[in-house]
Amino acid sequence: MIIEIRVPDLGESISEVEIGEWLVHIGDMVHTDDSLVAIESEKATVELPSPREGVLVEIVKPQGQKAHSGDVIARIDTESGSAAAKPEKKAAETVEAPPPEEEEKATDLEAKVMPAAARILAQEKIAAEQVTPTGPGDRILKEDAIRAAAGLRPGAPARTEAQDIMPEPVPAAPPAAAEVSGEEPGRERRVPMSLLRRTIATRLLEAKRTMAILTTFNEADMSAVKQLRADLGPQFAEKYGVRLGFMSFFVRAVVAGLREFPLVNAMIDGNEIVYRDSIDVGVAIGGGKGLVVPVIRRAERLTFAEIERQIAALGEKAKNNTLTPEELRGGTFTISNGGVYGSMLSTPIVNPPQSAILGLHAIKDRPVAVAGQVVIRPVMYLALSYDHRIIDGREAVTFLKGIKERIEEPQKLLLEI
């Protein structure tokens, strides 16, 4: 039986998706819940699993095409061992029909040519028999077709399609120095932006254009938190099965601060200010396809262990591009930790329609004055960017100062003061 693979409902706010990389090829056997294709929306990239076991017989929407919820993108034959293990092909019109044995051999070869490779071979007018396959099951991959078009032997580096359509620079009179050094002229290649990357760019520009963004800075002595993690971290991990990181301290500090200053957790809607009772903290994570901001729901109700478990789970999903749209929508405040990449100081951009974002940075040993003495302490710079239309400077500075104080005295977080 042939079943249709359709684009799932990814939420009311997502009207269009882009088909990403197909993870299986026509003719491949797939099992239930095997990932078939990556689907890129404006919020995340998700992998679509196979609902049944069978053979992929048709790809309706190749990589790069647009699709909507409910659109058919592929078909699977669930009858194992059926003749549908190979895609249906329309017989070319000929004067004489080929012998059955030759026709079967040609069909087998065509079935092993991957769609991207088939397009290149058709453009270059190269027969599949002239290509040396390197893919599993003697399949002809795109790289094989590119090598064949360039006249390269198998195993030699293949040029990209972007390079193939670019004319080779032929200088009229190459300088002697270039001949001696043997250096090739510089090249460039163009690749389309993913839907997620285009959406990130659009939203960042929207924030800069529609908000009055201002940033205030402070610094936090991380000595107490580092000592607490060193003393209780092993016991914490043994009891809860997750390590005690820095982020749970900042999430709890943000929760306390937003309770004290609910305007920082609010948003502007037209001429109204919308206050949110729940505190849903987005944690910016660099995923496989770009920056994503999964949301820790009702953070005001969570313990340190629950926060750490959610951060670990969301981070793993971001790495594997398996975050769902529901896990990315509805945040009321964002924390961005550029310190994990070594950032010393930055001015984070607010994630609309939120009104503020907290930027964390690298922890560095610095000389500081303590009780009239210069001592070395681990210090982190903090940055709070906020929409000045709704949050005044006094509230923003006091809010950030409260974050600093709670991090420097983590016992306040335990006592919720």
Going by their DSSP bridges, the two strands 17-22 and 66-67 should be labelled as antiparallel
Domain match, 249 and 348 both: yes
Q: In whole numbers, what is the pLDDT of the chain averaged over residues?
A: 82
More confident residue, 168 or 66: 66
One domain for residues 92 and 217: no
Mean pLDDT for 337-365 is 93
Q: Are residues 234 and 99 in the same domain?
A: no
On whether residue 336 sits in a domain, the answer given is yes
> Residue 154: inside a domain, yes or no?
yes
| Residue 277 is assigned to a structural domain of this protein | yes
Q: Is 388 a catalytic residue?
A: yes
**Shared-domain flag, residues 108 and 236:** no
In 3D space, the residue among 315, 312, 296 whose CA is nearest the CA of residue 252 turns out to be 296
Are 248 and 338 in a shared domain? Answer: yes
Catalytic residue among 28, 34, 71, 388: 388
Q: Cα-flanking dihedrals φ and ψ of residue 283, to 5°?
A: -115, 110
Of 178, 161, 222, residue with least CA distance to 363: 222
5 Cα distance to chain centroid: 23
Q: Pairing between strand 356-370 and 333-337? A: parallel
Domain-terminating residue out of 138, 164, 190: 164
Our answer to whether residue 68 is catalytic in this structure is: no
pTM for the structure as a whole = 0.63
φ, ψ for residue 45, nearest 5 deg: -110, 125
Q: Are residues 104 and 202 in the same domain?
A: no
Beta carbons of 331 and 368 less than 8 angstroms apart: no
Task: Out of 164, 186, 208, pick the residue that ends a domain.
Answer: 164
Same domain? For 137 and 230 the reply is no
The verdict on 143 and 264 lying in the same domain is no
Average pLDDT of the segment spanning 211-230: 96
Residue 173 lies in a domain: no
Give the count of beta carbons closer than 10 Å to the beta carbon of residue 84. 21
- Are 126 and 274 found together in one domain? no
> Strands, E, within 189-242: which ranges?
213-221
CATH number of the domain to which 378 belongs: 3.30.559.10
Across the range 375-389, mean pLDDT stands at 97
Within 8 A by CB and 6+ apart from 285, the residues are 291, 292, 293, 294, 314, 315, 318
Dist CA 289 CA 281 (whole Å): 21
Domain count, the chain: 2
Any domain includes 182: no
Least confident of 68-72, 97-101, 347-351, 355-359: 97-101
Say if CB 245 and CB 401 are below 8 A apart: no
Give the span between the Cα atoms of 235 and 229, in whole angstroms: 10
In a domain, 349, yes or no: yes
Examine residue 190 and state whether it is found in any structural domain, yes or no: no
What pLDDT does residue 181 have?
Answer: 54
- The predicted-structure confidence for 245-304, as pLDDT tens digits, reads as follows 999 999 999 999 999 999 999 999 999 999 999 999 999 887 666 678 899 999 999 999
Nearest CA-CA partner of 116 in 19, 5, 6 = 19
Indicate whether 121 and 205 sit together in one domain: no
Q: Which of 33, 108, 231, 392 is catalytic?
A: 392
- Give residue 31's domain range: 2-164
Q: pLDDT tens digit string along 151-202?
A: 655 554 444 443 443 344 444 445 554 455 556 667 888 877 777 777 778 8
95 pLDDT higher than 70: no
**For residue 404, is it within any domain?**
yes
145 close to 153: Cβ distance less than 8 angstroms = no
Question: What are the tens digits of pLDDT across the range 102-119?
Answer: 555 555 666 577 766 777
Q: Are 74 and 37 in contact (CB under 8 A)?
A: yes
**b/e per residue 87-124 (b: at least 16 CB within 10 A):** beeeeeeeeeeeeeeeeeeeeebebbbbebbbebbeee
pLDDT tens track for 309-320:
999 999 888 888
Question: Residue 217: what are its φ and ψ, rounded to 5°?
Answer: -125, 155
DSSP 8-state class, residue 400: H
Answer yes or no: do 114 and 219 share one domain: no
pLDDT at residue 82 tops 60: no
Q: How many CB atoms lie within 10 A of CB 170?
A: 7
Residues 143 and 225 in one domain: no
CATH number at residue 122: 2.40.50.100
Which of residues 143, 164, 185 is at a domain's end? 164
Phi, psi of 232, deg, nearest 5: -110, -5
